[in-house]
Chain A
Amino acid sequence: MSWSLGETAALALKAARGAGLSWGLAEEAAGAVFWLHQRGLPGVSALCGYLDACGHDRPGEEALCPLVLGTALSDGTHPVPDTVGDQLDLGPVRSPLLLLPFLATIPPGTVWVVAPGLGDNTPDEWHSGWLRGSAPCQLRRGTNSQIDPGRAGQTRLPDHFACCIDRLTVYAHRTYAPATSQSRLAGAGAGLTDND
């Protein structure tokens, strides 16, 4: 069993909204998850990790939201290193894998995010710290893209993400309004026989 990326993104949107993000930021979360899974990267895991931790920072351990930071970067309101080799400290960022889709929108797509405390960040060996928890991160200007554009060919979410899907479904559920007697009566076909 696998999921289409379309339904995965639709679930991510609802989950992010259910966790309390604005609709616009929830759309960004959905877009980020879609972008990551198109490239075979564990976007739903990172979103779960972020939503689980969101708002639960212990005093003194606050970390940046990767979606707020990511949109600031793609909107052009957060500085990025201009020349190759330059770097910029961001401080602790929650689930920093979620920054990748936003960095990719900054022309010409050569800004990297690195997390020195999480070791090597080769695309297929993401330390779990990239998905859950937070880590001090830096932006660096590279000479090429952090994620090879040629990876963008995945069309499905493999079934080993079932746990994350279940978790996101719980968040998504918070966007659903409990039925009222009034809403039951107002629905399609309510109160009428369908035996014609």
Chain B
Amino acid sequence: MPDGRETPASRNRPGTGAFRQAPLRPPQTVMRLARMGAFHQSRLSFMRVLLRRLKAEGWVVDRPVFDINESGVGVATYRARGPQATYTLVAFAHQLDDDQRSDRVIAEAWDATFTLCDGEVDRAQIDRLAGNVPKQEAGRISENELVLSRANKSVRLFSHVVDSLAAGDQPNPEMIESVGYLFRTTAVYGAGKFGAADRAQWSTRPEFTGSFQPEMLAVWLIRAFSIDIVEHAARMKSPATAVAMDPDIRRRLGIGNSTGLGMAPFLINHPRLINSWIAARETALARVRAVPAATPSQIEMFRQLVRRAARNANDWHVADERQAGRVERLRADFDWIMARADLLSPEDELPWDALYRAGEAALSLEGQEALVSLMFEPHAELVDGLAACMHAEEDVAHRIDGAVRAGDVLAALESQYDWTDGIDYDSPDAQARVWYVSEEKLEPRLGERHEEPLEPYEQPLCPGRDAVRMRRDLAGFDPADSLGAFLLRHPEHRHMARRLQIVGNIEFGEIRDNTIGAGMIPIDLLRCKLSFFGATKFDPRSDRWLRITMYQGAPFPDELATLDPDDLVYPPLEEAVATR
């Protein structure tokens, strides 16, 4: 019997294991920005993968240091101990004037700064970190640290919670729900940034199998800190009357995050990694669609979770007009899904495939992708093992096979990038945008090509256009000659030649849309990545930045042994809370 674990042969190559599966959805369907921008969290999301592992392995978290003064300034450490390793979050709490509180990457001060350390920390390490971590990008960390991060308070909610707890009361659940977090991170840097350990130094550790696991661990521990610091502030304010937060209210507090364009190029720059994520998700869907019949308990679980997810959609309020319309439609989609779920029967043949196909015809993209995520829920044994495939080794400079014939390269370009045939890159709209790095923020930004002098600074984040350019030059080149010879004459196509050889061997490495077109919506790129993280409550603040919530509803370290993190992703039905 398959047990959900991937066999070595299928590792990092979903779809070749012992499971029956339907055909994968083709990249032409999946790798479109509109659909990727409608993805939802799922059992394969990295936060859920982390908490499942921590729970299964009995990880224990304690707080060896809590040296925070009455003004809320100081340092605390959170030590997570598993069967083979220990990691420690060092948290520095600062005093920040309101006029300095900026989520933008150019900020120079924050309410709190963090680093996740490899192993235990001693006083000397804390002292070294105290001279660097509060400076963030202007400081340096070392190979003993894995993650660097910072966060700002939601002042309104923080004050409310402090006042309530200090007076011996619990905070207002409606206010908790409407904000969703006490702190929001404005950056979570890992994998070698600012001196941190390179991914290669820890990627083979079992607890970090998959993607972004150190970052997810850091954020989960930051969430624990956010509660400790607010309860500490309440105690300092009124030691005689202060109370701790009720665990059920506390659990509705996640960690917020503000994310802008800095994250957007990631999906384009890491085709192998993105392929591994999407391929795992699509394989999970294909497996579920191939399930011959649903059991009564699976049907019941699905019905329950659809109702709870629908509640999430009801609580999802955004000011952004486009997203508000999509959420409105999603609510209607949930009515449809609930009605269909009620019709599911153990007698049905291929029930999930039938449900998916009906959904494909009836639902918006938001609804279809929400349905996909929900269909994973009753199928842990088919889905969860795929998380181990969600990583990729990416060379700094993948070696180009220069011996391949130019004619074959042209044919490969024509077939891999056939989706560019419908785009006229000579028209101003098709190249309206320029990805560049701003001198002021040292972060990727998106500008208007025809209105700003940005073209000389263009980053290579437009594979469609570059493929078309390379095709034009290849068409005039001797097809019998080698790619190496072509690149000697045209070194400007070298990055595209490399990319073609990378994406030519994988199915889901390339976004099949114009990433520099006038109609491109950058937050679609952000949403896709954040859904894989496990974020919820996507709240676009413009077409190029958004706020999200992480770990809302998830167990805290002291609850991990007794609560099911997968179940808690969806809000409980009995606590219908109106918001805003």
Q: Enumerate chain B residues within 8 angstroms of A177, measured Cβ to Cβ.
A: 436-439, 445, 447, 454, 456-457
Determine the distance from Cα of A74 to Cα of B483 in the docked complex, in whole angstroms: 12
Q: Enumerate chain B residues within 8 angstroms of A71, measured Cβ to Cβ.
A: 400, 402, 487, 494
| Cβ 8 A contact of A183, one of B143, B447, B494 | B447
Stretch of A87-95, A119-127, A184-192 lying at the B interface: A184-192
Q: Is the CB of A28 within 8 A of B195?
A: no
Q: Enumerate chain A residues within 8 angstroms of B402, measured Cβ to Cβ.
A: 71, 74-77
Determine the distance from Cα of A196 to Cα of B183 in the docked complex, in whole angstroms: 11
| Cβ 8 A contact of B437, one of A77, A155, A176 | A176
Determine the distance from Cα of A75 to Cα of B492 in the docked complex, in whole angstroms: 15
Listed by A's residue number, 28 A-B pairs whose Cβ atoms lie within 8 Å are A1-B140, A2-B142, A4-B198, A5-B200, A9-B396, A25-B494, A27-B396, A74-B399, A75-B484, A77-B485, A105-B399, A155-B143, A155-B201, A175-B457, A176-B436, A176-B442, A177-B445, A179-B439, A179-B440, A182-B447, A183-B440, A184-B440, A186-B445, A187-B438, A187-B544, A188-B545, A194-B102, A196-B179
Q: Enumerate chain A residues within 8 angstroms of B155, measured Cβ to Cβ.
A: 195-196
Determine the distance from Cα of A29 to Cα of B232 in the docked complex, in whole angstroms: 51
Q: Is residue B387 contacting chain A, with contact meaning CB distance below 8 A?
A: no
Q: Is residue A6 contacting chain B, with contact meaning CB distance below 8 A?
A: yes
Q: Enumerate chain A residues within 8 angstroms of B143, measured Cβ to Cβ.
A: 2, 4, 155-156
Q: Is the CB of A176 within 8 A of B104?
A: no
Q: Is the CB of A77 within 8 A of B482?
A: yes
Q: Enumerate chain B residues within 8 angstroms of A186, measured Cβ to Cβ.
A: 445-447, 544
Closest 3 CB pairs of A and B: A24-B494, A188-B260, A75-B402
Q: Which residues of chain A from 7 to 65 have any CB-CB distance to chain B below 8 Å in the complex? A: 7, 9, 22-25, 27-28, 30-32, 34-35
Q: Is the CB of A189 within 8 A of B439?
A: no
| Known A23-B494, A27-B396; further 18 A-B contacts with Cβ < 8 A | A2-B142, A9-B396, A30-B397, A34-B397, A71-B400, A71-B494, A72-B484, A74-B400, A76-B403, A155-B143, A173-B439, A183-B447, A186-B445, A186-B544, A189-B102, A189-B260, A196-B155, A196-B157
Q: Enumerate chain A residues within 8 angstroms of B495, measured Cβ to Cβ.
A: 22-24, 27
Stretch of B112-120, B186-194, B506-514 lying at the A interface: B186-194
Q: Is the CB of B198 within 8 A of A155?
A: yes
How many B residues have CB within 8 A of the partner chain?
Answer: 73
Q: Which residues of chain B from 490 to 509 have any CB-CB distance to chain A below 8 Å in the complex? A: 491-498
Q: Enumerate chain B residues within 8 angstroms of A30, measured Cβ to Cβ.
A: 396-397
Q: Is the CB of B258 within 8 A of A3?
A: no
Q: Is the CB of B196 within 8 A of A4?
A: yes
Determine the distance from Cα of A155 to Cα of B142 in the docked complex, in whole angstroms: 11
Interface footprint category on A: 35 or more
Q: Is the CB of A189 within 8 A of B199?
A: no
Determine the distance from Cα of A77 to Cα of B483 in the docked complex, in whole angstroms: 9
User: A23 with B403: in contact, given A7-B195, A182-B447, A189-B545 (CB under 8 Å)?
Assistant: no
User: A176 with B396: in contact, given A6-B191, A76-B482, A188-B258 (CB under 8 Å)?
Assistant: no
Q: Enumerate chain B residues within 8 angstroms of A6, measured Cβ to Cβ.
A: 191-193, 198-199
Q: Is the CB of A27 within 8 A of B494?
A: yes
Q: Is residue A178 contacting chain B, with contact meaning CB distance below 8 A?
A: yes
Determine the distance from Cα of A10 to Cα of B496 in the docked complex, in whole angstroms: 18
Q: Is the CB of B492 within 8 A of A189?
A: no
User: A176 with B192: in contact, given A25-B494, A30-B396, A195-B155 (CB under 8 Å)?
Assistant: no
Q: Enumerate chain A residues within 8 angstroms of B399, measured Cβ to Cβ.
A: 74, 105
Determine the distance from Cα of A179 to Cα of B152 in the docked complex, in whole angstroms: 25
Q: Enumerate chain B residues within 8 angstroms of A3, measured Cβ to Cβ.
A: 195
Shortest CB distance A1–B (Å): 5
Q: Which residues of chain B from 239 to 296 have any CB-CB distance to chain A below 8 Å in the complex? A: 258-262
Q: Which residues of chain A from 72 to 124 have any CB-CB distance to chain B below 8 Å in the complex? A: 72, 74-77, 105
Q: Is residue B197 contacting chain A, with contact meaning CB distance below 8 A?
A: yes
B-to-A contact residues, CB < 8 Å: 98, 101-105, 140, 142-143, 152, 154-157, 179, 191-201, 258-262, 395-397, 399-400, 402-403, 436-442, 445-448, 451-454, 456-457, 460, 482-485, 487-488, 491-498, 541, 544-545
Q: Is the CB of B498 within 8 A of A195?
A: no
In this complex, what residue of B is CB-closest to A176?
Answer: B439
Determine the distance from Cα of A7 to Cα of B141 in the docked complex, in whole angstroms: 12
Shortest CB distance A72–B (Å): 6
Q: Enumerate chain A residues within 8 angstroms of B451, measured Cβ to Cβ.
A: 182
Choose among A9, A71, A177, A190 the residue with the greatest number of B CB atoms under 10 Å from its CB.
A177
Q: Enumerate chain A residues within 8 angstroms of B447, measured Cβ to Cβ.
A: 177, 180, 182-183, 186
In this complex, what residue of A is CB-closest to B132?
Answer: A1
| Cβ 8 A contact of B492, one of A24, A31, A190, A194 | A24
Determine the distance from Cα of A35 to Cα of B398 in the docked complex, in whole angstroms: 12
Shortest CB distance B386–A (Å): 26
Q: Is the CB of B192 within 8 A of A24?
A: no
Q: Is residue A163 contacting chain B, with contact meaning CB distance below 8 A?
A: no
Determine the distance from Cα of A175 to Cα of B458 in the docked complex, in whole angstroms: 8
Q: Enumerate chain B residues within 8 angstroms of A2, measured Cβ to Cβ.
A: 142-143, 195
Q: Is residue A170 contacting chain B, with contact meaning CB distance below 8 A?
A: no
Q: Enumerate chain B residues within 8 angstroms of A77, measured Cβ to Cβ.
A: 402, 482, 484-485, 488
Determine the distance from Cα of A16 to Cα of B2 in the docked complex, in whole angstroms: 50
Q: Is the CB of B437 within 8 A of A175?
A: yes
Shortest CB distance A90–B (Å): 16
| Cβ 8 A contact of A24, one of B193, B195, B493 | B493
| Cβ 8 A contact of B154, one of A23, A173, A175, A196 | A196
Choose among A28, A184, A194 the residue with the greatest number of B CB atoms under 10 Å from its CB.
A194
Q: Enumerate chain B residues within 8 angstroms of A24, measured Cβ to Cβ.
A: 487, 491-498
Q: Is the CB of B192 within 8 A of A5?
A: yes
Q: Enumerate chain A residues within 8 angstroms of B544, measured Cβ to Cβ.
A: 186-188
